[in-house]
Amino acid sequence: MPDKAVFLDRDKTIILPNGDNYIYRIGDFYIPDSYITALKKLFDNEYKLFVVTNQGRVAKGYMTEEDVTELHEYLNDIYKDHGFQIEEFAYCPHNPMGHVSPYNVVCRCRKPKQGMFYDLIDRYDIDVTKSWMVGDTERDIVPGNLCGLKTILLRTGYYIGPENADYIEDDLASAANRILITKN
């Protein structure tokens, strides 16, 4: 039987930057307690949790894939201490505007393309009709819609209007509540 899932963007969705800085490494962000509670609720309600994030600054030389992996492992250690985990962190290190080879290419995984989503949906046998995408930009919402997921746009990012999301919520905590009260 296929599983239900919540696909989550990373920056400004499950973690928030310290100040106006971009999140490169551990120490560049914080996690509100309400976000940990929200993810735990989703996990306890049998949603598989996946992070799908563009990390094109690898292609620009600002960070390495090891930096990305270290941050993801750090996050999962925190989550495991609270009784849940992210099933998988999927990320795209590519950016055609970058200068670091082999990452400076056009790829099938960089959002708003759906490559990361289709890979996870197929590999984990996800029922898209019972699953969600939560993110802070239109770049997150587009692939969710194209994959048949219900979508939630958070106001934690560069929100400028209704966009194409099924729902708009203030933050991850309110998005989790929306998912749990909405009938599939």
Tens of pLDDT along 127-156? Answer: 999 999 999 999 999 999 999 999 999 988
pTM of the predicted structure, to 2 decimals? 0.95
- The pLDDT of residue 184 is 61
Other C-beta atoms closer than 10 Å to the C-beta of 142 total 20
Please give the domain boundaries of the chain with CATH numbers for all domains: 4-127+143-157 (3.40.50.1000)
pLDDT at residue 90 tops 90: yes
Active site residues: 9, 11
Radius of gyration of the chain (CA): 15
- String of b and e for 110-133 (b: at least 16 CB within 10 Å)? bbebbbbbeebbeeeebebeebbb
Q: Averaged over 62-73, what is the pLDDT?
A: 96
The residue ranges of DSSP E strands in 55-166, in sequence order, are 88-92, 132-135, 150-154
Band of pLDDT at residue 25, cut at 50, 70 and 90? confident
Phi, psi of 15 (to 5 degrees): -135, 150
